[in-house]
Structure formats: structure tokens, C-alpha cells
Chains A and B, each alone.
Chain A
């Protein structure tokens, strides 16, 4: 079982690495946010799932297991809400998308 835990943590480390590289390379605020979602989903869920398996099957500490599950639950519930708020706030503050952007139907509708 301990090897499953290692595998999950390596798996999420890979996605966290991809997310950080993406955040450094992406051209504008919104694309950077997209890349950071990589870290906030699989980068975190893998670690939490690894922790759940470790506390359940290796340590047999069920209080820790429940706390990890609650952490994961609140994490999943709160992350998208902050992402909505940051994206909308950044847009209305005047952050521009890159010039190569395909379309901006939000701007078209706001000008009407």
C-alpha cells in the first residue's frame, strides 16, 4: 500500500510541476489562471488521496483520515469560487487578454 501512496504523490507532483511551468510561460493573467488550476486540482487531490490511504491503511489513524477528507471537501468547494471572483475582478480591473486572442464575446456584450 505504501507504494500506491508514493505513486499518488509523484503523480500529483508531476501535475504541480506542469502547473508552475505553465504559470511562468503563459502570456496573460487568464491563461496563467488556467494553468494554476492544474496545481489546485490534481496537484492537491493526489496528495490528499495519498494522505487518506496512508492514514487509513498504514497508520490506522481514522481521525486523521476524516480530517483529510474534510480538508479535501472544503478545498474542492472553495477553489472554484475564488477563481470566479479573481477572473471577473481581473477582467473588470482592465487586465487585457493577449492580442492573439480568438474572440471576446464578454466585451462585445458589455458594449451593447
Chain B
């Protein structure tokens, strides 16, 4: 694995510091205008130390790629408006299957193509699909420069790669592309 560059370490340190603020409860006192200076300095030192060791696992592409208001805005829209709707539909569907007397399931593992190039985008799409009930990503594979997911699907509607991909990904892939590419 290649060594991390200085901007990569800086980007990881900023992210670590934000989580330090959240976890130590300093954000509320920072907003109120009475931050505790010792805690902030300790947070800086610790996050730079952690970033120096962990940046090479965490950042493989352009480091400050994500610190871009447009991307963060689309990510918030996705998290607040788009994903919960998909989550509700899928949750309702699986809850109905689990509670109905006949247990109407047709499980199976299908292979679906993914058109995203960015690793972060692929990871976000895979996590979104796994988080919706009814589909779990089991493995990813790269064949001839194209990426595929193996998905365990509780109601196999189609065994064709493209059709199954459309049914599972829906509009999630378009949004992942908008956020990460």
C-alpha cells in the first residue's frame, strides 16, 4: 500500500477533529461561545496523530474531493429526502412478507452490474442497498473493467443481470453518481 500524502493526512485530520467535537460534546459549548481550550488542543493533537497513521487506509483518491458544498448539499438531500422513502417502501414490503401467513418469499443470489467508477460511490451504493431490507450485497467482483455485485435478494423478480440491477438499484445509483462523480 502506498504512503499517504500530506493533503490526505490533513483531510483525515479535519474529519477526525469534527468527530472529536461531536463525541466530547464540545460542539454545544463552541456554539455558545465558551469552548474549553485544553480539550480543543488535545483534540487537534490526537486527530493529527490518528490521521498520520490511518490516512493511507482511508483516502485513495483526491483528498479534498468531498469538502465541496455542492456535494455535501446533494448528500444531505439524499439522506433526508430520497433514501428514507426507499427505506420505507422496502421495510414495508419485508414486514408484510414476514407477517403474512403464507411466507411469500423467492430467495436467490443475483449478479448485478454497477456503472460507478468512484470507489466511494461504489461503497455508498453497496451500503445503501444492504441497508434496505430485502437485499444484501455478498461480494463485489471486477470483470473486464466492469464492476459487479452479488446480491442476495428475498424476492427474485428477474434473473437477468440488467433487469435485476434496475429493480434493485432503482434511483439510488443515479444519486450516488451525482454525489461522488
Contact = CB atoms under 8 A, between A and B. Distances in A.
B97 interface: yes
A19 B98 contact: yes
A75 B25 CA distance: 18
B97 A87 contact: no
B133 A34 contact: yes
Interface string B27-65: 110000000000000000000000000000000000000
A107 B127 contact: no
Interface residues of A, dominant DSSP = helix
Interface residues of B, dominant DSSP = mixed
Contacts of B130: 37, 79-80, 83-84
A58 interface: no
Contact of A83 (B91, B97, B136, B159): B136
Instruction: Please indicate which of the listed interface residues A30, A63, A98 has the most CB atoms of chain B within 10 Å of its own CB.
Output: A30
Contacts of A77: 127
Contact of B139 (A15, A88, A103): A88
Contacts of A21: 98-99
Nearest to A21: B98
B87 A42 contact: yes
A62 B145 CA distance: 48
Instruction: Please indicate which of the listed interface residues B88, B98, B130 has the most CB atoms of chain A within 10 Å of its own CB.
Output: B98
Given A63-B28, A97-B107, A18 B136 contact: no
A81 B169 CA distance: 18
Contact of A87 (B91, B111, B134, B152): B152
B10 interface: no
B22 interface: yes
B103 interface: yes
A109 to B, nearest CB: 7
Instruction: Name the 4 nearest CB pairs between A and B, nearest first.
Output: A22-B98, A18-B95, A102-B108, A80-B130
Given A34-B136, A103-B159, 9 more contacts: A22-B97, A66-B22, A84-B138, A87-B137, A101-B108, A102-B156, A105-B159, A106-B109, A106-B111
Interface of A: 14-15, 18-19, 21-22, 25-28, 30-31, 33-35, 37-38, 41-42, 45, 62-63, 66-67, 69-70, 76-77, 79-81, 83-84, 87-88, 91, 97-98, 100-107, 109
